[in-house]
Structure 1
């Protein structure tokens, strides 16, 4: 919670400081009124409004992060959930510039006891991050791979061919409000980590081969053969 509070303080301090600076500048300009200064005041007021909106967005993201949603866990076909998520992701026109290649585990088809909406949220975030990482690499594919790590644990990986993540960025990548995107809020991976941990799993990343990044999460799972034995 201390880390989260520090992130909130940092994110809120930036727009609030900007609002204060623009307000003080407007006050000085009004004290020496002229037509040119009036235009500058209007521009400063516009910036104050924009920074206030930014502060509001931080609060809204925080509400989403801490809101306790009642989870609806059920038996989920992981392969089918991945396919549905890819189809949903294609609503984003940027994704149409990149082929999404599925390499799913069909041996002992994996099943999860999970909230499908939450797992889909994690997958969507990783897919969009991968596409963002390849924004300037036209035609580069995005791979989604799944494999059994053990008899009771399945791993899903999203593999991009972007520029990768440096050590300094990697050390903070799951921190709330940390982002490398100009328009990002830095909540996607933090929320994803919370969801995966709540399902008894792990989320992690590593370098791609030969370039890019591999984001993976592992979750407890059962196979078709295990279900048959239990019956």
Structure 2
């Protein structure tokens, strides 16, 4: 507003200076005014279709009416479009159209301020399209009807112009009325809580107030004078303000919507990946106990087929099947805990005893690969806090991966050395060192990603699952070279000082 007052101060001393020949600029001014106000009205109707607030629709009607009335005002302006062969307008026609345009816009703007202050109820969603169509038709009919009525009845119009360039006292009275309406609108907008639209409408109203003062009083109504054109410039600025604000908000909303759609797409892809990872993890982890159950079932059938049946061995096979079934259930519960909030209850665990229990089960798996197991467990390790079922799967997966990494290798000893020790950082560290093929440098960047595998029949879920479990326990997993052959997979878990005595791990 300070810049508007500054412009007024600069133009006021020269407001009555005539600018001869400046009427050639009027078509360009009128075209810009019509386009700006009609586009602003259209954007406000779009805003109404979203929020369905009656006050916004009336504001849109104000801009549509002003833009439509600017067309006959420009076409009837003396000496501008005479070359087009249009019928000559009466001496009061242009001024009367300008008066109706200004008063109509001012009253609709005042109505908007009053209704917005009272927070008018919203229109029903299903009728918003019909309301918008009715609004457009009503404004168009009102503008066209008033323009035709004014043009055809010049003799009945109020005497606003003394001649082609000078106003009468009637226009002065009219200007006071319009200025009063703008002043009332400005007061309401300043008193009520501001929205972004109301803030800029305050600037618009202030600009239009300066416009009517410059046009009717400071320049004494002299057409095509410096003050008259300054008023036109203020009116154009006022028309552009709301348009720019609406365009900025539309652009921001479009960008926000684009970001929201992209975020939703990423979230949907992440959920899909999580579902794929969950199903693949279950298939990968349950495969081991299922294979063991099938092997023991076959063994039990063979013991029963003997004559006489060996019931003791059959019973042992059935017991192993039962244990593996319970293990499969614990595996599924552990996987579900990884992918849901809250996880499982944790207890103090002796990591050495857990390693011994799991690797005892893995000895039968190591023999077909020709692998020798070596356990070098540190003494008096502090307990760790965690889920026994989940950490058992980590150990089992790392051991199985090591066996498979050494499969088919000839000419050197195949050894899997498992070590544990207390790290100085308050962690318990476990290492699985094999003498297999090792892990290439380019594979290390992706080896813990889901579905990445170096094995022809691998699922790419084992190491990802191990990493997820360890990170959920506050630990970490990494890989190094085992010189001269193979790889070493390390994992570390934070110690649990002051925890209760570790519980036993069933073999």
TM over 0.5: yes
Aligned length: 177
Out of 109-118 and 198-207, give the one that drifted further. Answer: 109-118
Query: Deviation of residue 67 (structure 1)?
Result: 3.1
Change (3 A) 1:126 1:5: farther
Inter-partner Cα distance in structure 2 for 1:3 and 1:90: 43
Query: Deviation of residue 62 (structure 1)?
Result: 5.7
Which residue does 2:336 correspond to in 1?
Answer: 67
> Does residue 216 in structure 1 map to residue 485 in structure 2?
no
> Does residue 88 in structure 1 map to residue 361 in structure 2?
yes
Which residue does 1:16 correspond to in 2?
Answer: none
Query: Deviation of residue 68 (structure 1)?
Result: 3.4
More helix by percentage = 2
Unaligned runs of 5+ in 2: 1-264, 283-331, 501-507
Out of 59-68 and 160-169, give the one that drifted further. Answer: 59-68
Unaligned runs of 5+ in 1: 10-56
Which residue does 1:45 correspond to in 2?
Answer: none
Query: Deviation of residue 96 (structure 1)?
Result: 6.2
Out of 61-70 and 206-215, give the one that drifted further. Answer: 61-70
Is contact 1:4-1:176 (8 Å) kept?
no
Which residue does 1:207 correspond to in 2?
Answer: 481
Is contact 2:447-2:453 (8 Å) kept?
yes
State which of 177, 194, 198 in structure 1 corresponds to 2:451.
177
Which residue does 2:381 correspond to in 1?
Answer: 109
Larger Rg: 2
Is contact 2:363-2:373 (8 Å) kept?
no
Q: For 1:1-231, what aligned pairs fall within 5 Å after superposition?
A: 5=269, 60-61=279-280, 67-68=336-337, 70-92=343-365, 94=367, 97-106=370-379, 108-137=380-409, 139-150=413-424, 152-222=426-496
Change (3 A) 1:152 1:208: same
Change (3 A) 1:160 1:221: same
Change (3 A) 1:2 1:111: farther
Change (3 A) 1:227 1:91: same
Is contact 1:58-1:185 (8 Å) kept?
no
Query: Deviation of residue 89 (structure 1)?
Result: 1.6
Q: Secondary structure at the match of 1:90?
A: helix
Inter-partner Cα distance in structure 2 for 1:167 and 1:204: 13
Inter-partner Cα distance in structure 1 for 2:472 and 2:450: 17
Is contact 1:101-1:141 (8 Å) kept?
yes
Q: Secondary structure at the match of 1:109?
A: coil
Inter-partner Cα distance in structure 1 for 2:397 and 2:485: 20
Query: Deviation of residue 149 (structure 1)?
Result: 1.4
Query: Deviation of residue 151 (structure 1)?
Result: 5.7
Is contact 2:478-2:489 (8 Å) kept?
yes
Inter-partner Cα distance in structure 2 for 1:130 and 1:144: 11
Query: Deviation of residue 94 (structure 1)?
Result: 4.8
Inter-partner Cα distance in structure 1 for 2:268 and 2:397: 20
More strand by percentage = 1
Change (3 A) 1:4 1:77: farther
Query: Deviation of residue 95 (structure 1)?
Result: 5.5
